[in-house]
Amino acid sequence: MKKLFVVTTILTALAGSYAIAADLPTKGPAPMVARPGCAQFGGFYVGGNAGWASNTHRWSDRDAWSAEVSDDLSRGNISTTNTGFIGGVQGGYNWQTNCTVFGVEADYSWSNVKNTAFETDGDLGVDVDTLTIESRLRGLGTLRTRAGVVVDNLLIYVTGGVALGNFKRTYTQTDNNVPVSEVFQHNNNRWGWVLGVGTEWAINQNWSIKGEALYHQFKSDDTTFVCTVFCPSEAKRFSNEDSVWVGRIGVNYRFSGWR
């Protein structure tokens, strides 16, 4: 009977102590939450970029417009490649699980890349006939997914999606015997696709530096013009194809820092 009383008393005291302790304010440091062994890139971000673009432009004279002036100008197909500055802005969102990242990004860049091809018929002096094909890349945008892994503070990823390019085309043919010129010009937005790779280094909780290499391929641009000078009232068809390599660096600000 005494043993039962002692056990009951001890259990009652322990229960009372637990109840009192539960009502007391918690003191001491909060428990530590382990962070994954890599930087966190999750959440929304915005930033800017700058770099270099290489545009390859292929022009096709499908109805021999240049032969209306001189057979020596009628090459049919002309390909040129030129490089120039490109720069713009980007923004996106990342989902991160441990050290694996999946995200979406949209960007738009302005460019000064201009391809120019100048052809002559080989004659000299005032008899020379000329053909000038100019294509200017004025803007480049993409909507892409990104997938990669984080090693320490470095995100390594692959990316791909859709691309939109803005091109200004000018075709000029001159017969210097007259002299007279005919000019066709048009502006175009062309859809295409983009693939690439990149890295992004987290400097601190919110800021990071990125580097990317991207390849863009655009759908063929087919255009028809009606001649007014060399072949009045005749329709002439032209095709343009473009591919663009871009290498750039940028900076991002992430609105959610390391957790």
pLDDT tens per residue, range 116-141? 998 887 666 667 888 999 999 999 99
Q: Indicate the DSSP class of residue 178.
A: T
**Identity of residue 232:** P
**Mean pLDDT (whole number) for 179-190:** 92
Q: What confidence category does residue 67 fall into, taking pLDDT thresholds of 50, 70 and 90?
A: confident
**Rounded CA separation 197/158 (Å):** 4
pLDDT, tens digit, 9 for 90 and up, residues 220-253: 989 999 999 888 999 999 999 999 999 999 999 9
Q: Indicate the DSSP class of residue 198.
A: E
Residue 185: phi and psi, rounded to 5, are -145, 140
Least confident stretch, 5-14, 23-32, 84-93: 5-14
Half-sphere exposure of 103 (CA within 13 A, CB side): 28
**Rounded CA separation 104/43 (Å):** 11
Q: How big is the chain, counted in residues?
A: 259
Which of 214, 53, 248, 95 shows the shortest CA–CA distance to 144?
Answer: 214
CATH (residue range 42-254): 2.40.160
